[in-house]
Amino acid sequence: MFVAFLLMQFIISTKAGLVNYVDGQVNVHLHEQVPAGMPIQTGPHSHVELLLNPGSFLRLDENSTVVFDSVELTNIAVRLIEGAALIETAEINKETRIRVTTGNLKVLIASPGLYRFSDDTASVLDGKVLIDGSSRAIKKGREITSVGGSYLENAAIRFSDGLDLWSRQRSSDLARANAMAYHERPPSNGYSFGGYPLWGVLPFGSTWLYSPPFGGFTFIPVRTYRSYYGYRFFPLSGFVRHGLSVGRTVSTSRSSSRTAGASTGGSTIGSSGTSRPSYGGRMGGHIGGGHGRR
């Protein structure tokens, strides 16, 4: 089991596409590394979450199919074949933008945020995308649809369906896992720091963190991160101050528009016009990932 865990850590260090959570009828298993070209499918009332680069998550809706055209961290390419998907990302570097294809539409995720894809359409709930091969940018609150070889831009629809509610819960669970790891002082309790041997070489500053109580990976941002749903994550500096040995700490990651300065211990950081959740946000949600069924 220990060897398998180390192998799993190495896999997430070098490739996108690790299955981090499954719910219902899916054709992949928890902690499976999905190769490029393999369709990932969900059935009715089912969802799956996959890791992209550290701090970026792909969440697939029910009755949907997606495939990775590339799982290399420097060239992540996702293609939605059927249904809908959300991508939440905490950090994006202009040299390693995530490419997403839905129908005839191809876009590059250009900034941290939350993005929804379906039916030749990319909705920018927060952040910014670029049309692939063009300098045209679609910003927060807008959506772009490919129609007959041209592009139609409209105001983005705000969803409150099963995918959005499940994505919100996943963001809450991930923030809770991050907070639990911070307060419970790894590594004596079994938490493992990222297993990210290329960190400091690749242009990412965040790292994955395996959470035994949740049976999956959360992440440690370089700076305090607040998700689209309002959940905050303890930053790397806080873990270092609490005795976590990280080796090389050189990072070329760029600052997120949703990041702030380093955390000061476990204090609550609020934001104007919203409630003031503590780190980890609301404490509800599942502990331990699903296992999926073929």
Q: Kindly give the parts of the chain with pLDDT less than 70.
A: 1-13, 185-204, 240-294
Contact by Cβ (8 Å): 40, 58: no
The number of distinct structural domains making up the chain is: 2
Residue 39 covered by a domain: yes
- The answer to whether residue 231 sits within a structural domain is yes
Query: For residue 272, is it within any domain?
Result: no
Domain containing residue 191? 162-241
pLDDT value of residue 144:
97
**Confidence (pLDDT) at 286:** 40
* Judgement on whether residues 67 and 148 belong to the same structural domain of the protein: yes
Whether 26 is covered by a domain: the verdict is yes
Name the domain boundary from 241, 268, 286.
241
Q: Is the same domain home to 81 and 144? A: yes
pLDDT (0 to 100) of residue 287 = 37
What is the DSSP code (8-state) at residue 236? H
- Please report the pLDDT score of residue 222 as a whole number: 85
The two beta strands, 128-131 and 105-109, are antiparallel
Type of residue found at 143: E
Q: Is residue 266 part of a domain?
A: no
Asked which of 155, 181, 204 is the last residue of a domain, the reply is 155
According to the model, what pLDDT value does residue 276 have? 29
**Per-residue model confidence (pLDDT) at position 71:** 96
If asked whether residues 98 and 222 sit together in one domain, one would say: no
231/116 Cα distance (integer angstroms): 19
* Amino acid identity, position 52: L
Q: Which three-class secondary structure state does DSSP give residue 218? A: strand
If asked whether residues 31 and 129 sit together in one domain, one would say yes
Whole-Å CA distances, 277 to 110, 153, 271? 27, 34, 9
Note the pTM of the prediction, 2 decimals: 0.78
User: Is there a single domain that holds both residue 147 and residue 200?
Assistant: no
Inside any domain, residue 203: yes
Please check whether residues 122 and 189 belong to one and the same domain: no
The pLDDT value given to residue 189: 55
Distances (CA, A) of 80 to 12, 107, 247, 262, 287: 22, 12, 38, 36, 28
Specify whether 136 is located in the same domain as 48: yes
Determine the Cα–Cα distance for residues 177 and 175; give it in Å rounded to an integer: 5
CATH number at residue 45: 2.60.120.1440
Instruction: Specify the pLDDT at position 115.
Output: 98
**Tokens 């649809």, located at residue:** 145
Asked if residue 224 is part of any domain, the answer here is yes
> 166 and 148: one domain?
no
What pLDDT was estimated at residue 22?
97
